[in-house]
Amino acid sequence: MNYKTQKEAAKKGILTKEMEIVAGKESLEPQKIIDLIASGQVALPANKNHTALSPEGIGGGLRTKINVNLGISKDCKDYEKEFQKVQLALHYGCDAIMDLSNYGKTNTFRRELIRMSPAMIGTVPMYDAIGYLEKELADITAEDFLKVIEAHAKEGVDFMTIHAGITRHSVEVFKSTKRLTNIVSRGGSLLFAWMEMTGNENPFYEHYEKVLEILREYDVTISLGDALRPGSTHDSSDSSQISELIELGRLTKEAWKKDVQVIVEGPGHMAINEIAANMVLQKRLCHNAPFYVLGPLVTDIAPGYDHITSAIGGAIAATNGADFLCYVTPAEHLRLPELEDVKEGIIASRIAAHAADIAKGLPGARAVDDKMSDARRRLDWEEMFSLAIDGEKARRYYESVRTADDHSCSMCGKMCAMNTTNLILEGKNIELNTN
């Protein structure tokens, strides 16, 4: 094998087995996938040590992918429950799982996750540093942070969120902005605190070349984290967000020079009327690198329903250029999600992603919708359930109130529009008052 990373292989015109699988999944010619990866418009996160991986591509011209966040915290450290969430996420078709565990020795959970998951695995090494190193934040050195990145890479992590764009300069911009919600990125806030307490530059920025060397060795895709993403609609599109985005564009090119694949992370909260312009701006500033967004949440007043505020924003974002949606659950801002929260978040994100793929005119995106519409016309309930994103729920709702006429549901009964039209077109009469 005369290449280290998927990007290096693509630049040399080599079709890897992972590229071939992605081309098949996306119904694209293999050469098209090679060209997209070589240009950086598509990333194919595939750590050489993640042997259970079913490869996926993320980027322009491909199906919109979704990520599920999982992991333990100090207050909720039930590994068995987290693995139940993993199984649920895989069952409902997630493309990636991020282990955001932030308490104790998290590598036991992460190693098992990598061993059994066909979905891409991502992490945020900054979260793990304190537990892994058993040091207080202010006592951690730049070399310590690099050790954590290397440990995650060796274990088989496919992509890592690294907040390399928050610098001493961007911190000054942030302070002058006087935000309503300050810094809401967990990793970003920890780096900000470390920089302020030590007086040092961001270690991931200062030692970016070394970070890239580690990632290149294992073919880990860098997901350039947006430490200064807006945490409220009030703060969206402000100077803090945009100044960091400009820096992320520069860091993207530096990574590509080292043949490290790149994903760029985007805003968390944003009013609907700003989303499309932000997607275009990101693609311009970050040279069409794949864009990964958390939502964005389009209003701040719906705790308990933020899977909906996120799906609205995600559909608009993906229609206008975002390539990768991070799910948001009803528990966002409130607690670690339970199993039902995870399911609701996945379904909402899949709806948003699929709706965007239809709007973008991706080949074949509308095909399943056409099949569903045809099944509805024919009142073929079994086929409808098989085509639904959540067929189990659809069946449960339908069967909860049965009607005298099995052709219809309890909403319309004998007045079912489909049945009425079908009968008339068949030359039959309809009778509404008969038992």
Q: Which residues are part of a known binding site for Zn(2+)?
A: 269, 333
Which residues line the annotated binding site? 69, 98, 127, 163, 185-187, 226-229, 265, 269, 292, 333, 409, 412, 416
Which residues line the annotated binding site for [4Fe-4S] cluster? 409, 412, 416
Question: Hey, what long-range contacts does 372-381 have (CB within 8 A, 24 or more apart)?
Answer: 376/418, 377/418, 377/422, 378/422, 379/407, 379/408, 379/416, 379/418, 379/419, 379/422
Q: How many CB atoms lie within 10 A of CB 215?
A: 28
Tokens of 296: 């964005």
- CA 255 to chain CA centroid, Å, is 21
Q: Helix H segments across 286-416?
A: 306-319, 339-359, 367-377, 381-387, 391-400
Q: Are 241 and 230 in contact (CB under 8 A)?
A: yes
Which residues line the annotated binding site for substrate? 69, 98, 127, 163, 185-187, 226-229, 265, 292
Strand pairing of 42-43 and 58-59? antiparallel
User: How far is Cα 298 from Cα 54, in angstroms, rounded to an integer?
Assistant: 33
Q: How many CB atoms lie within 10 A of CB 160?
A: 28
Phi, psi of 177 (to 5 degrees): -75, -30
Q: Residues 232, 235, 238, CA angle at the centre, nearest 5°?
A: 150
